[in-house]
Amino acid sequence: MPRSYILGNGSVLATFDARAQMRDLYFPHVGSEDHTAFGNMHRVGVWVDGKGFAWLDDPAWQIASGYVPETLVGRSTLRHEGLAVDITAEDCVHPVHNILLRQFAVRTTDGQQRRIRFFFNHNFHIYGDKQKDTAFYEPYTNSVIHYRQSRYFLVGGDTSWPESCRTNAIAGQYASVLKSAHRLHSCGLASFTTGKAQYRGLEGTWRDAEDGNLSENPIEQGSVDSTVGIHCIADGNETDVTLWLCLARSLDEVVQLQQIVLEQTPQRLLRNAHNYWKSWVNKTHRSFGSLSPEIVNLYKRSLLTIRAHVDHGGGILAAADADIMLFNRDTYTYVWPRDGSFVSMVLDDAGYSEVSHRFFEFCATALTPDGYLLHKYNPDGSLGSSWHPWYRDGEAQLPIQEDETALVIAAIWRHFTYDQDFEFLQNIFERFVQRAAEFLCNFREKDTALPLPSYDPWEEERGVFTYTVCCTIAGLVAASNIAQALGHERHARRYRKSSDEMRDALVKHLYDEQKGRFLKKIIRRGGSTVERDDRPDASIAVLWTLGVLPPDDPRVVSTMTQLRQLLAVHAPVGGMARYTGDHYHAAVEPSADVPGNPWVITTLWDAQWDIALAKTPADLERPREALSWAAKFANPAGMLPEQLHPVSGAHLSVSPLTWSHAVFADTVLRFVAKEEEMKTSSK
């Protein structure tokens, strides 16, 4: 199930489904560890006196979820005719403190005063599994705390109109987890229970809530969950019910986070989140020209979505939607240097160089002694899972995608053109660029100057790809520029010479004169080309996007025109496929009409070429339509997927995908720049 909206602050990332139920909870890194196992959720239920009970996954709830505009604050409306209640909910992860807040403003639709009880079930899988955990009720703080080793989760809450308040005697020095002299406590939780869950046939304590009462078991260990109740009175006016979840590495720290909630109040913390994200997304004042409000809103949503996927340690997460586990028992919760490079370039273009700066630090730490980056990494910098072998068909091979090393260098040069930080550039040259550029120079076939075989950007095939050759050229050009800027003349000449040789080899070996387009790949053995793959592939667009050839070069024009014709999806959704015969998450059998599912990235790459060639405002209509197309197929909260069902437009694979949002933002920036250029030239 694609994620409806996400919340995060660089240490915590929470994802929610279309029923406003939390599905993933990552801490202490964005994307690692997920403390909600695949297929599980944290349930919310409502009991209304005289009406009954319903969890939010009950289809009788009418639920619409989205965001408060220009923020990472979720907003949902919930209505249940049978329970006669209307609810407006706001959720956030505080931008500074590791606190998840959920505030529900509830009223009765018939205006009658009634007792209403909210129940919150927390089904933690601490460290990703369900064993050796403890959940206990702490009476003085009036909270339930889950913990295992160095992961602590405190559940507390409050309401503006309590049905009743638990009054606990002031604890003595040794009777409470609170150590400080200044102590605050909440009377918000009116009921609680802990118990076994998903063990020996026990579903969990959420079943205990369905009669409106909890059994108040004070502690449980092993495979456990908990449910808490906040009991309130509501009528035709709104009553606030607030739940908070504090996340920390120790008992003292998690209790102190609750003290922050109580001292500053949930309402103030929620306002902090509103104000912080509005200021963040609007920090760079720019004109959006003739673009529609819908496109501008999605541009800002894309920046916020990207930011939520950036870990405090610099890793840029591909996606946090763990339901992709259904496909291959693995996720997209990794840092791909390629994706991160493209995203960091957009962040720099958009004015957020402080975010991309940390990504380059991440890559410098991950670089191997021989100067290359491997397939992908966990957000903590450790090596991620891979399906690229070190040994195949009786031969050893380097299991890399060379673009992942080269693009980081290109992104570093782009970064420097914005911030002009010579000290950082010198530091990153010594730690990353020099070793990586030497690798790019050496990892070549001597006779042709082409890169040696590696894997394609789609991570499916191995060979010498037009895409990879272009990325390597761009990386070497950037390395030469960096060396030149720092006064390293010898290095600058070496890198420039290597890039020039490789550009000549690209045209000689990968351009097909008969077809009038660049090839997807070639296979070389024993100094000869033994296979030429002419399948159209959208990634070939990097020919001009990375500046290897001009966008109006006749070979580029011929190639891009054919890609547009052969990769267009002739189905109700439209858009562009990755390549012909693409079976990845294929919704229908690939054909000439539907070469593959439409991808947001590939469709907008095509639009960017129109922008590059545009001479008049009329030339910008097609890319404007492409931006509107992407906005049309975003979910109501503004989440963009990796790919779409070609007939229904449903989100396929993961949603949201960070790269999709980056390419959308990039296309907006290119459009605005071209429109401004036209205005300036016409004066």
Q: What pLDDT was estimated at residue 93?
A: 98
Residue 128 Ramachandran class (φ > 0 left, ψ -120 to 50 alpha, else beta): left
Which parts of the chain have pLDDT scores under 50? 169
pLDDT in tens, 72-98: 999 999 999 999 999 999 999 999 999
Q: Which two tokens stand for residue 461?
A: 């095939």
Q: 42-57+96-280 and 352-548 share one CATH topology?
A: no
pLDDT in tens, 443-489: 999 999 999 999 999 999 999 999 999 999 999 999 999 999 999 99
The Cα 68–Cα 471 span in angstroms is 39
Across 287-297, b (16+ Cβ under 10 Å) vs e yields ebbebeeebbb
Q: What angle do CA 587, 638, 649 make, to 5 degrees?
A: 20
First to last CA, the chain: 51
Q: What pLDDT was estimated at residue 386?
A: 94
| CATH code assigned to 42-57+96-280 | 2.70.98.10
Q: Which two tokens stand for residue 23?
A: 């599905």
Q: Please report, for the chain, the start and end positions of each structural domain, with discontinuous segments joined by +.
A: 42-57+96-280, 285-312+568-683, 352-548
Q: Which two tokens stand for residue 212?
A: 């409106």
Backbone φ and ψ for 152, nearest 5 degrees, come out as -130, 135
**Global confidence as pTM:** 0.96
Which stretch of DSSP H or E encloses residue 223? Answer: none
The Cα 249–Cα 148 span in angstroms is 9
Taking the CB of residue 14, how many other CB atoms lie within 10 A of it?
Answer: 29
Q: Which CATH class is domain 352-548?
A: mainly alpha
* 8 A C-beta contact, residue 614 and residue 602: no
Backbone φ and ψ for 511, nearest 5 degrees, come out as -100, 125
State CA 639 to chain mean position distance: 10
Q: What pLDDT was estimated at residue 321?
A: 79
Q: What pLDDT was estimated at residue 184?
A: 64
Q: Find, among 303, 245, 241, 262, the residue nearest to 94 by Cα.
A: 245
Q: What pLDDT was estimated at residue 168?
A: 57
Q: What pLDDT was estimated at residue 285?
A: 87
The Cα 24–Cα 30 span in angstroms is 11
Strand 191-196 relative to strand 224-234, pairing: antiparallel
Name the H helices within 316-465.
Answer: 325-328, 337-350, 353-366, 403-419, 422-428, 434-442
Q: What pLDDT was estimated at residue 173?
A: 57
Q: Name the residue with tokens 């996954």.
A: 57
